[in-house]
Structure 1
């Protein structure tokens, strides 16, 4: 089954007061600084942290409710809600998607503790684990309520749970054979994989310990050398090509295409550091090799991005902040192509400020973001059909040029 997120709904999370965003295999957001693009990524990341840490710890890791709640308007916000719809259970579809929503409210206690506040959560998970049967799990206060006509789900009715428990973070107290419990676990595994990839070039340059975790590139690319080792070791299992390093060969071709001075990439033992691996670059006309620690900012960031685009086993959703940061404009065409190829294996949600990168997109991949006078984000500011109409009216002018000219909105 092709598990994926079809859409995101956010209310009162930072500047996202009422956002409904469709997500395809590739979605690229553009707009001025502080328009709310990063907040969209962080809303999804919050759900991932809820699945890993639980609701209260995920909120505390970001400063708590007061930091996350929208701070515009005349009155304080008392409720944050983040919802997704997608395909996870066996009989879900784009026409009948699964849905999950988390709502967190903050309320004052009655006297004499009126200065204290307490959090309450509500969760609703609707899924399709049986043919023609939609089931739901609802958490409110200290009870979970199952609505299901499926025999293996057991007897419907309220079940006692902890007040801030989450179906994403704790096993659903249903029979082991329950289709609804199984479907909830699939949603959890999906959200656990959500990542916001933001390479820290300073960390990516350093040697990496050789570990089993090298199969997944860290969100800050701090294990880049170890991850490259896993790509180098990846070999084809097809009988006619058995043993070939297709992934590594493709990565090298791309690096050479955008940084022609690099002829080869070598993975070597880090001097004086047992069980560590480092990266060295072989460059045209230079004696010896260049350590990655001495490579340029753009080279290291480009290598990090190409590495995740060539990942043969990517997480189900990767978010990337400012994909064009530090990258030469002429390299963006290749990056856009590799990103689109990678989006056939997994979903990508990225932000950019580059008209050159936007020129490589299709209207349905392009989302304009703006900020209203009330402080709230407007996302999307235009529909894909409206974008197409502007392009047609311009007689086919490139989409990035139209956006840079502020014809599509999302400008300063």
Structure 2
């Protein structure tokens, strides 16, 4: 199973006053609206965008620092930390750890600190820690008993993240850790399909599925060409969810700048249905299945509101497919559906709630061992037990 990301600790970020969440290969966040599910997922996309570009641009994408910082009337620091098994010598006993701290100065500038801890060689000890404050970077070789200062660097500018800059350096003794971790963060897939955009034809290229699925047609076509077996399996899943569905096909429109059109062939219908005329749920389901059948996905896939617009019968297929896909990519999704939760195992659910007095998110409300005990002691299925309020994470 793919289980690169192990833990997220976040404080001062939107509704997340202080949360500490651990993840397995396949994790489903459930809870009422406003409980912090999306904010927890946004932590991961925010760190991804900070790595790809720089923290300032990631802040801009969320509407400015006032939309990032916890809205409790106090000035403060946003602190985000993730632990993972990514670099060459990382393990469950020696996790990679990346921390990003952001503070707004009195004159409105964003001050940032970054820190990466990782193992640079095989065996016990020999961990490196890279610290960046502004443009100043220090690299320490941490021995088992004491730290030995190794290097100082100064970044040329703050237009990219320190992690992104260090990952591109060929500094002796650093090993592949910074590069491995940067690759992990920068390739996180955050899938939140824009159905109207996904309906449109797209240029014929082999780009990976975009986060908003706006290139769904070309991504599907590329999958059919590069991995016919995966494409056939996708069609079988689609047929299980859509009565009368026979196959997917493609049309080409335009001249020199040709675009691909997806066509759905149904039994008893002469003319295929183009994606532009397909239902909301059909388009969204097709985008989800395209990501889940990707034979070479990124290490981490995040999906917002997995059940949005889908018939309950489709959830059987989706849960089955997500479990299977989690052998290739770690899956973290958000859901409101007790029907979907009924199909989960206790270790796959993360229940979210919100403190009614402070507005702070509580994640998780209950640990997976207690969830398992509650299911064992009840005649109800997991989704029914959660929806009843017995596990928390439902509107008061």
TM-score (norm 1): 0.89
Tell me by how many angstroms 1:174 deviates: 6.0
> Which residue number in structure 2 is paired with residue 8 of structure 1?
8
Task: Verify the 8 A CA contact 1:210 1:277 in the aligned structure 2.
Answer: yes
Bigger Cα Rg = 1
Alignment of structure 1 residues 174-323 onto 2, 5 Å? 175-180=170-175, 182-213=176-207, 216-235=208-227, 245-270=228-253, 274-323=257-306
Tell me by how many angstroms 1:301 deviates: 1.0
Gaps of 5+ in 1: 109-115, 236-244
Tell me by how many angstroms 1:173 deviates: 8.5
- Change in 2 beyond 3 A, CA 1:95/1:277: same
Inter-partner Cα distance in structure 1 for 2:347 and 2:298? 22
Task: Verify the 8 A CA contact 1:20 1:379 in the aligned structure 2.
Answer: yes
The structure 1 segments of at least 4 consecutive aligned residues displaced by more than 4 Å after TM superposition are: 162-165, 172-175, 271-274
Alignment of structure 1 residues 148-167 onto 2, 5 Å? 148=141, 156-161=150-155, 164=158, 166-167=161-162
> Which residue number in structure 2 is paired with residue 40 of structure 1?
40
The yes-or-no answer on 1:54 pairing with 2:46 is no
- Change in 2 beyond 3 A, CA 1:166/1:222: closer
> Aligned residues, how many?
387
Tell me by how many angstroms 1:316 deviates: 1.3
Q: CA RMSD in A?
A: 2.1
Tell me by how many angstroms 1:336 deviates: 0.3
The DSSP-based 3-state class of the residue aligned with 2:10 is strand
The DSSP-based 3-state class of the residue aligned with 2:347 is helix
The DSSP-based 3-state class of the residue aligned with 2:196 is helix
Tell me by how many angstroms 1:163 deviates: 7.5
Tell me by how many angstroms 1:159 deviates: 2.5
Gaps of 5+ in 2: none
Tell me by how many angstroms 1:119 deviates: 2.1
Inter-partner Cα distance in structure 2 for 1:266 and 1:319? 28
> Which residue number in structure 2 is paired with residue 91 of structure 1?
89
Task: Verify the 8 A CA contact 1:141 1:163 in the aligned structure 2.
Answer: no
Residue deviations 1:179-228 (CA, integer Å, cap 9, x gap): 34x21111111101112211111111111110232xx1111111111011
The DSSP-based 3-state class of the residue aligned with 1:34 is coil
Q: Which of 156, 165, 173 is the matching residue for 1:170?
A: 165
